[in-house]
Structure 1
Amino acid sequence: MAKRQVVFGMLGTQLDAGSGPGRWQKWRPTVALGMHEDFVPDRVELLLDERRFGKLAAQVREDLALTAPEMAVHVHDTYMADPWEFEGVYACLHDFLAGYPFQPDEEDYYIHITTGTHVSQICWFLLAESRHFPGRLLQTSPPRKQNAGAAGTYAVIDLDLSRYDHIAQRFARQQLLDRDLLKGGIATRNGAFNRMIEQIETVATRSRAPMLLMGPTGAGKSQLAKRVFALKKLKHQLPGRFVEVNCATLRGDGAMSTLFGHTKGAYTGASADRAGLLRSADKGLLFLDEIGELGQDEQAMLLRALEEKRFLPVGSDREVESDFQLIAGTNRDLQAAVRQGRFREDLLARLNLWTYALPGLAQRSEDIEPNLEFELERWSREQHERVRFNVEARTRYLAFATSAEATWRGNFRDLGASLMRLATLATAGRIQIEGVEEEITRLRAQWHDGTTASPLDALLGEAVNGLDRFDRVQLEDVVRVCARSASLSAAGRELFAVSRAQRASTNDADRLRKYLAKFGLDWEQVRGAARAVDTA
């Protein structure tokens, strides 16, 4: 059984007007709904202010009865104080639809957007696009030549964009461009990182809530925050500025003033009013890096500013406003800081809606190669001089850069500095193997300065480079447990605490001894070397 066709529309107080015989020579959009041969609604739901336009509505109903006798016309008395005031019109139409008994299994619905003010047409569109109205748009147009009884033309517009392949393809391409922007134009290959960027792109364009970026120093938190701002700016979501501050640089009385501003004379040296960074970020994006370094008073003020968009500058008894969006960055474990009483739990809860952990460069080894190309290209643009690796040098550098030996403690800062040195020292625009070997020696010295040396270096020497990364990480942890344990058995109990409960009989010391023997090590060797490194 075919569904009933139902059209909703506003009475056209100008276009539908006419009372004498000459009205039939004029195209009237609501009356024309009953004149199409291939589309005649079963019912029209007509919205109007009956007190002002009841007579016109009666004439339109009478004419529809002549053009389409089987079509029902229901009139809804709809009062709008100002049909050009957006908020009032939207609320009126929204409330009407909320109370209407839709039956989508039995009826198809259309909104006739030809009549009504431009404001009401926009509101109808928004209500259909957001699915508050479960139907499509109906646009009618007059005939090219006015003549008696002309119905004109009509078009049905479905706002389900997934139905339009070309539009869907354009949206997909734009999403890829947006994600490329967030990645700085670098063709990253790490699957987990790319999935994180996909979600950040969605959140950045749909949400104004704070975002928390976690990760080690140099992992790219600041650059990602700038790119989120650029994306929001591109989509006209933020007319204001990007404002950045490293909270680790804020100390003492100056911290509160830097963030929230002060009034003249608020304290010694306050010779003029100061707006503060939160007000500078009004209608823009504020990036607070190392937010875990903020003092308790600043945390409390920031929480209120986030929740109410209002705060008191230092020395003022008058609140100021700032509608900023916040991205916070940290290399600390803020949950641990909460447990230690150094960070407010309520502030963390406010920040923790969208939290992303940026992996260090050593955890994204497959992204080193595209970043290498990106950094060299950037250096070439800035210096107006093309620099490239020769094949042997490039192979050697990538082999070292992606090995377990390359810890990349400074993450992308280390990589950028390394490639800058190589490019600067290159001869005739070519990075040679000799330069790479010199740079590898420099990086080894930089990363193994005695503060972070691995116990495996002392135990295995150059043989450590022959370990798979998985084995190296696991063995390093085993060695460190051995260093702090009083005996082989105690170390075994700690290392096999979970699996030993599932075994009928256990000999943790023997299991550990056999594991170490796989790498040519014994208990005394491991214990002595690891303790020496940890106490260095």
Structure 2
Amino acid sequence: MARTTVIGFLGSTLDGSKRDSSRWHKWRPTVGLCMHQDLRVDRLVLLHGAKHADLAHFVIADIASVSPETEVVPHLVQFDDAWDFEEVYTGLLDFAQGFSFDPEAEDYLVHITTGTHVAQICLFLLAEARFIPAKLLQTQPPRGMPDPAGTWNAIDLNLSRYDSIARRFAEAQEDSAALLKSGIATRNAAFNRMIAEIERVATRSAAPMLLMGPTGAGKSQLARRIYELKASRHRLSGPFVEVNCATLKGDGAMSALFGHRKGAFTGAMTERAGLLRSADGGMLFLDEIGELGLDEQAMILRAVEEGRFLPLGADREVTSRFQLIAGTNRELLAEVTAGRFREDLFARLNLWTFRLPGLAERPEDIEPNLDYEMDRFAAAQDLRVTFNKEARETYLAFATSAAATWQGNFRDLSASVTRMATLAPSGRIDRETVEQEIARLKFLWSNGASSEPDVLAEVLGEEELTKVDAFDRAQLAEVVRVCRRSASLSEAGRTLFAASRQRRSSTNDADRLRKYLARFGLSFDRLLLYK
């Protein structure tokens, strides 16, 4: 059986008493914890100050009389101020790091009934952080009849062992992840893992974060959700301040970000605090940070690292402490290489970098996001619009196919839902409305020209097109266009294989083209039907 070692402070008041026989009728925490039949104390490490050495020896003698098997090891800890948290914690940390713990052979208990409240808190923190690998031991005086032993209770700080607490933690994490996802039940495994990691970082770190991803991928919305999560955990008290750096140019950028003094430049009629000062105590979201000039980048870096910066026209620095989240659709490492982005600022931002995938990279998340956008429309317009079954299936089949490029990502989806819901006859989106919207999206994404997916969708159909690799789609689209311009299979073959014909003694371009088209279930005659 493992030995039990208890670590605790001598109670200068609670352990003190008259040194006569009456003391045995009084509850003394340190003596009492060695008097329990159901708590074997093999070793007691008794912490005490120099001025209480005499009391320590007296208590040790009493313990020897009631529990001779207990080895008491007095340990001197001297504090100039026992209520100074920094001094007490540092001293106890030194004690813990110098102690020879052997959890395989011994069980450890930390007695937190005695000592100042500061000492009790420090022992709790050291045990919770596992600097002292122990359970907490709480003792208390008896109720009713006199009992010098009192009662005791051990508390295990391994919270995973408490089912109800573990469930609450799991529920809290799920709620936090749901908040970051705006309540959308996303299905993409990689995206969900990223959100789970962001949740942990957001609740534990105040370091800058970098959100990368294409325009419309949701960087701004996610930044605001991160702020809301941190504010709900009381990690931030200030406001959420957002700025699109692409709108900041020249002196206006400096003034908007860092503020200016009255008269700092022509037109500066009043003083301006600037966005960095406005974000004090809160969060600053710099969207499209790659658009900032190098001078602004340098000042941002100093403000993040030191919390200080100089407004335009000022001769005295101002302070502001905020958490920075930066967003960009640029590859910042390439921008650093090209000399357009400061390497030191990128290094500061790159501690926590998350890349948000585009909507086309998350086809399984289109359906839950479609429902979310429908709910948003209903809330904004006070009008509930629904799909009929056939229309919904048609829209989702297109939306999750290779033909749907979602170049504007969630902005495209939101606009698409708004159009269909607005045009829906009698508040019901039918198939005709969906087909008109699909045609509109195809036109928008092709910039008014026929795109490769459109060409192939005509001859293969949407369902078959989804089975064709992107590499083959690009090649096949060109073959189809050439065939449509040609009068015969042979002419199309000569056009497509003109370069390789020069290196062959015999050619059969028509047969070569016929076999290529057959791989996709196509023929030259069938292509002519779609001209």
TM-score computed with the length of structure 2 as normaliser:
0.88
Q: Equivalent residue for 1:151? A: 149
Query: SS of the residue aligned with 1:6?
Result: strand
Q: Equivalent residue for 2:89? A: 90
Instruction: Look up the equivalent residue of 1:338 and give its one-letter code.
Output: V
Instruction: Look up the equivalent residue of 2:382 and give its one-letter code.
Output: H
Separation (CA, whole Å) in 1 of partners of 2:256 and 2:366: 37
Do 1:25 and 1:146's aligned partners in 2 also have CA atoms closer than 8 Å? no
Q: Equivalent residue for 2:492? A: none
Q: Equivalent residue for 2:215? A: 217
Q: Equivalent residue for 1:29? A: 29
Is it true that 1:46 corresponds to 2:43 in the alignment? no
Instruction: Look up the equivalent residue of 2:47 and give its one-letter code.
Output: L
| Residue 112 of structure 1, CA deviation | 0.1
Cα-to-partner distance string for 1:186-236 (whole Å, 9 max, x where unaligned): 111111111111111111112222111111111101111111111111111
Q: Equivalent residue for 2:9? A: 10
Q: Equivalent residue for 2:54? A: 55
Separation (CA, whole Å) in 2 of partners of 1:17 and 1:396: 83
CA 1:519–1:112 in 2, change beyond 3 Å: closer, same or farther?
same
Query: SS of the residue aligned with 1:9?
Result: strand
Q: Equivalent residue for 1:142? A: 141
Aligned residue runs from structure 1 range 518-533, under 5 A = 518-519=519-520
Q: 1:414 aligns with which of 407, 412, 418?
A: 412
Instruction: Look up the equivalent residue of 1:270 and give its one-letter code.
Output: A
Aligned residue runs from structure 1 range 186-265, under 5 A = 186-265=184-263
Do 1:241 and 1:285's aligned partners in 2 also have CA atoms closer than 8 Å? yes
Do 2:32 and 2:150's aligned partners in 1 also have CA atoms closer than 8 Å? yes
Q: 2:285 aligns with which of 287, 291, 315?
A: 287
Separation (CA, whole Å) in 2 of partners of 1:400 and 1:153: 70
Separation (CA, whole Å) in 2 of partners of 1:338 and 1:470: 39
Separation (CA, whole Å) in 2 of partners of 1:516 and 1:99: 78
Aligned residue runs from structure 1 range 326-405, under 5 A = 326-405=324-403
| Residue 469 of structure 1, CA deviation | 3.4
Aligned residue runs from structure 1 range 407-446, under 5 A = 407-446=405-444
Q: Which runs of 5+ in 2 are unaligned?
A: 482-494, 501-510, 524-531
Instruction: Look up the equivalent residue of 2:171 and give its one-letter code.
Output: R
Q: Using the aligned pairs only, state the percent identity.
A: 60
CA 1:246–1:479 in 2, change beyond 3 Å: closer, same or farther?
farther
CA 1:518–1:40 in 2, change beyond 3 Å: closer, same or farther?
same
Q: 1:305 aligns with which of 303, 306, 310?
A: 303
Do 2:455 and 2:477's aligned partners in 1 also have CA atoms closer than 8 Å? no
How many pairs are equivalent?
Answer: 500
| Residue 433 of structure 1, CA deviation | 2.1
Q: Equivalent residue for 1:275? A: 273
Instruction: Look up the equivalent residue of 2:285 and give its one-letter code.
Output: F
Aligned residue runs from structure 1 range 438-477, under 5 A = 438-450=436-448, 454-455=451-452, 457-458=454-455, 461-463=458-460, 465-469=462-466, 471-477=468-474
Do 2:33 and 2:152's aligned partners in 1 also have CA atoms closer than 8 Å? no
Do 2:28 and 2:148's aligned partners in 1 also have CA atoms closer than 8 Å? no
Q: Equivalent residue for 1:525? A: none
Cα-to-partner distance string for 1:2-38 (whole Å, 9 max, x where unaligned): 2221111111122111123232222110110211111
Aligned residue runs from structure 1 range 68-107, under 5 A = 68-107=67-106
Do 1:404 and 1:472's aligned partners in 2 also have CA atoms closer than 8 Å? no
Cα-to-partner distance string for 1:416-455 (whole Å, 9 max, x where unaligned): 111112222223322222222222222222212247x534
| Residue 464 of structure 1, CA deviation | 6.0
Do 1:46 and 1:73's aligned partners in 2 also have CA atoms closer than 8 Å? yes
Instruction: Look up the equivalent residue of 2:297 and give its one-letter code.
Output: Q
Instruction: Look up the equivalent residue of 1:45 and give its one-letter code.
Output: V
Q: 2:182 aligns with which of 181, 184, 187?
A: 184
CA 1:459–1:368 in 2, change beyond 3 Å: closer, same or farther?
closer
Q: Equivalent residue for 1:266? A: 264
Query: SS of the residue aligned with 1:471?
Result: coil
Do 1:456 and 1:464's aligned partners in 2 also have CA atoms closer than 8 Å? no
Do 1:464 and 1:472's aligned partners in 2 also have CA atoms closer than 8 Å? no
CA 1:460–1:429 in 2, change beyond 3 Å: closer, same or farther?
closer
CA 1:155–1:301 in 2, change beyond 3 Å: closer, same or farther?
same
Cα-to-partner distance string for 1:450-492 (whole Å, 9 max, x where unaligned): 47x5345457745363544362522245479999xx997999x
| Residue 521 of structure 1, CA deviation | 9.1
TM-score computed with the length of structure 1 as normaliser:
0.87
Do 2:403 and 2:454's aligned partners in 1 also have CA atoms closer than 8 Å? no
Query: SS of the residue aligned with 2:419?
Result: helix
Cα RMSD of the aligned pairs, angstroms, is: 2.8
Q: Equivalent residue for 1:119? A: 118
CA 1:184–1:456 in 2, change beyond 3 Å: closer, same or farther?
closer
Separation (CA, whole Å) in 2 of partners of 1:514 and 1:338: 49
Do 1:393 and 1:431's aligned partners in 2 also have CA atoms closer than 8 Å? yes
Separation (CA, whole Å) in 2 of partners of 1:261 and 1:333: 29
Separation (CA, whole Å) in 2 of partners of 1:459 and 1:326: 46
Q: Equivalent residue for 1:532? A: none
CA 1:281–1:252 in 2, change beyond 3 Å: closer, same or farther?
same
Cα-to-partner distance string for 1:342-386 (whole Å, 9 max, x where unaligned): 111221111112211111111111111111111112222233322
Separation (CA, whole Å) in 2 of partners of 1:27 and 1:302: 61
CA 1:520–1:174 in 2, change beyond 3 Å: closer, same or farther?
same
CA 1:102–1:333 in 2, change beyond 3 Å: closer, same or farther?
same
Cα-to-partner distance string for 1:277-309 (whole Å, 9 max, x where unaligned): 122212211111111101000111111222222
CA 1:208–1:489 in 2, change beyond 3 Å: closer, same or farther?
farther
Cα-to-partner distance string for 1:477-516 (whole Å, 9 max, x where unaligned): 5479999xx997999xxxxxxxxxxxxxxxxxx9999767
Do 1:26 and 1:146's aligned partners in 2 also have CA atoms closer than 8 Å? no
| Residue 103 of structure 1, CA deviation | 2.2
Separation (CA, whole Å) in 1 of partners of 2:47 and 2:254: 56
Separation (CA, whole Å) in 2 of partners of 1:199 and 1:410: 26
| Residue 322 of structure 1, CA deviation | 1.9
